[in-house]
Structure 1
């Protein structure tokens, strides 16, 4: 009689388990901020409203009232904790790294909203829309400084944790700079757009896995493979996030439909369409040379699809997920952690997330 095949873990269950570890530590860390910074940060995380009253449903990284999109589910720190566990360590020992990664991610979100002028995130007004641009920028800076302070308190990850995180933050900033630069340029190459996304998003996913591996006592080869895994998942996540910025349901994304097109962002699906050499790509380029009025947005989205931007994106996501899982399986982690990381990777690359 054959043995039954073990059920694949549910990504929601994996995230719930890691959030149970993360959330108290994250709240403790944010609680050490000066009151002015804590007020804005706690609002951004969804823990309380603009007047400091507890927000219904929890919200923030744990999902709840304001965490409908996958970006609100604390994927990156979950990768950190599972990578540590898979390498033979105890997940609680990796909490400084997990908290630091989540703080860096949310620093970038607060600043992104300011730079993009986005007034809605996770179904509620963004921090800058409530407290003003200057206060939001300061709160983002405060979260970044806190991330390094928290990571420096961890002694189980060796001496390389802080420089590793610092290097990935520099990659993130470089990627965000390129993203802003692309908005002012008439022509952007597809591969340079991919490199932008690798810096802006994939680097922090890879860092999350690399830090977890370090805290878990991974071998150098395991660390490399896990970082590759995280980077590929992160790039797939960014591509799908770009798709949601064009076609996403506001009930899922927490942002208005066509939000990236409204800002004429050179996201990956758009650049794939613009560089397609098709009549639809040429028509899209003509539209993108001027501010888009509301009636133009639906036509612009249609042209991106007709020029192959959506098809290219979905095919690239499938390829990246396959490459990520190949690296994960080669890392030789514990079966439980491998299954959990695979479930999270599939969630990040879920076309309906």
Structure 2
């Protein structure tokens, strides 16, 4: 098989993402249209719907993994995807609230191959646009009229609190010399896995699932989300910038303590010691330094360990999915899980 060919599983996953996008996008746009004009303008730019002047564009709005998980989880529980669309929209709004804020806090200049919203509209405007999306997410759920809307709002708000705590912890790590793997896992759970767990649990809830089925779907999403974060950590160091939309070694340039870095620093190897001297120092890292840092992380075992942990989490996630008895949707959810954790890195 050549690098450009795709497997049947990948085709199934992409088909599921496209089907989700076609269902969710109209409702997402309708929700954003209710925002005040200035907030709507910034949000639409961030979603890739138009440029900074409001002219329609063909920019990517992302894969919309979380909405797809909501809809498939609802169907796996025996409900309809259509009834779960408000839940999918709410989760996508929360996700993009976090992206708008993350770009500011991480000082990221680009997202999806074009300037981030804060670079175009300013820091304060981007933060406020993120706040607007967060408030809108709860409104979409409450106004859906679904019998599970109130419980769903509680589930979503809990995930938001975890997400915020995870982001705060991630920022605190930047000021610390030592972070161990268990501390990193807790942060990554809150920052990334909690919302994917919420997507699956919320979808199951809107699909009328039994409590134990909701719990298994939530666990599936959380383990998948943690694996997703670990793969993202690999991409932040070794990913192809034409695929990721961010500069090569972007995480290293910000001296972020992602899992490959933490694993390497905790490895007790000579390469790990060299990495600590360079990465935890005060001087600015040159392009050559960043390449050296990436090589030291690899030599200390950080890259291999991160790969292994992501693979182990995928196995756990699929076990949880099997326990949820997703019926005819098992194949699509499994395909999505594989696609999520096998991105190019």
TM class by shorter chain equals over 0.9
Partner residue, 1:296: 289
CA contact (8 A) 2:142 2:150 kept: no
The corresponding residue for 1:125 is 115
Give the distance between the partners of 2:70 and 2:287, measured in 1 at CA: 41
Measure how far apart 1:351 and its partner are. 3.9
TM-score when scaled to structure 2? 0.95
Q: Which of 118, 126, 151 is the equivalent residue of 1:136?
A: 126
Give matches, 1:3-152, under 5 Å. 8=9, 10-55=12-57, 57=58, 59-60=60-61, 72-152=62-142
**RMSD of aligned alpha carbons:** 1.1
1:341 aligns with 2:333: yes
**CA distance in structure 2 between the aligned counterparts of 1:49 and 1:163, rounded to whole angstroms:** 35
Does the aligned pair in 2 maintain the 1:94–1:156 contact within 8 Å? no
Residues 254-305 of structure 1: CA deviation (Å, up to 9, x unaligned): 0000000000000111101110111111111111222322221000000110
Q: Distance in 1 between matches of 2:139 and 2:259?
A: 34
- Off by >6 Å, runs of 4+ in structure 1: none
1:259-338 to 2 correspondences below 5 Å: 259-289=250-280, 290=282, 291-335=284-328, 337-338=329-330
Structure 1: 5+ residue stretches without partners: 1-6, 61-71
Shift of 1:80: 0.3
CA–CA distance in structure 1, aligned partners of residues 241 and 60 of structure 2: 17
| C-alpha contact 2:69 2:203 (8 A) present in aligned 1 | yes
Q: Distance in 1 between matches of 2:176 and 2:112?
A: 30
Alignment partner of 1:174 is 2:165: yes
The superposition leaves residues 295-317 of structure 1 with CA deviations (integer Å, 9 ceiling, x where unpaired) of 21000000110011100010011
Alpha-carbon distance in structure 1 between the residues aligned to 2:273 and 2:190? 28
Asked if the contact 2:174/2:256 (under 8 Å) is kept, the reply is yes
CA displacement, residues 94-113 of structure 1 (integer Å, 9 cap, x when unaligned): 01110000000000001000
Give 1:67's aligned residue: none
Which residue is 2:245 aligned to?
A: 254
Note the C-alpha offset of 1:158: 4.8
SS in 2 for 1:181: helix
